[in-house]
Structure 1
């Protein structure tokens, strides 16, 4: 079992993600939340996938793409730190990634399949990590962070967006039916 990280294992900015992760088996949480996100979105029409709850917000398709991109980046960062990388890993510009990816041209189904595959890859990698791997610290996301904290940041990031998808998007009064 992977214990929740302590506040000294990550920048306090990421508390907004780590604090969302429930107590219990993080591996089960990651699997369950992926299933919940896919179940929430799998029956959306392409029109619904293009919905934005405000003009300056991402579409649902862009949010799904962002989840996949961020999972890839955090998983890569997790790999680097777990393996003892000494170099500082950069912070990415999420808005540039959204702009350049053009997620709106992909189907909801394709985006969800990609997200599921990325999560399965992340889960498979996490299974291989030892306690020593998880305790390693590196510099990423603008500060020192442990590999263990990255696992929880990753889970909390999806929980954060799941809540937004459920409430601000699908729960919006003007959401297309």
Structure 2
């Protein structure tokens, strides 16, 4: 595999606000981490009742379904950015308002099973894209949300963003 042991991005490859996500990513093969995390997410969410899935830990906070929907939307957007930057596209990519996306998704109207199927499809698309990115383009620089970012950094952000939110669900929603 061309991308084995993809190097961790350096701090000059992404905006500072992504640092907490990138720090969460363990050392190792990025595709294996994505595959392992896919199973962990499915195992965490699949046993939840609809009542538990519609629960939020505090007023004004997203429900469990909304958190998973947010992970999916963000992963889709980041995978698109990964595609564009890896292909050398220099077109500036717009940012997005996560709150607006969560509201528009209306995940409360979906079953947990449907949301998990969406997550699996989204994650598998990210995995196959990352597996097939040529080795020589991981340092490509693009512009997203007005900031420079590399292909490599986007791949790590995809992993770390999901890990960040999964940890919040475990600690604040499921008291683990």
TM-score normalised to structure 2 length: 0.95
Tell me the CA shift for residue 141 of structure 1.
3.4
- For 1:153 and 1:103, locate their aligned partners in 2 and report how far apart those are by CA, in whole Å: 23
Tell me the CA shift for residue 37 of structure 1.
1.1
Gaps of 5+ in 2: none
Partner of 1:20: 24
**Root-mean-square deviation over aligned CA pairs:** 1.0
Please give the per-residue CA displacement for 1:26-64, whole angstroms capped at 9, x wherever unaligned: 111111111101101101011111000011100000011
Tell me the SS of whatever aligns to 2:24.
Answer: coil
- For 1:3 and 1:74, locate their aligned partners in 2 and report how far apart those are by CA, in whole Å: 18
Partner of 1:37: 41
Report how many aligned residue pairs link the two structures. 172
Tell me the CA shift for residue 12 of structure 1.
1.3
Gaps of 5+ in 1: 173-177
Partner of 2:87: 83
Partner of 1:121: 125
TM-score normalised to structure 1 length: 0.95
Q: Any residues of structure 2 matched to 1:72-151 within 5 Å, and which?
A: 72-151=76-155
Residue 167 in structure 1 maps to residue 176 in structure 2: no
Partner of 1:175: none
Match of 1:158 among 154, 159, 162: 162
- For 1:141 and 1:156, locate their aligned partners in 2 and report how far apart those are by CA, in whole Å: 18
Partner of 1:66: 70
Tell me the SS of whatever aligns to 2:116.
Answer: helix
- For 2:165 and 2:148, locate their aligned partners in 1 and report how far apart those are by CA, in whole Å: 24
Tell me the SS of whatever aligns to 1:19.
Answer: helix
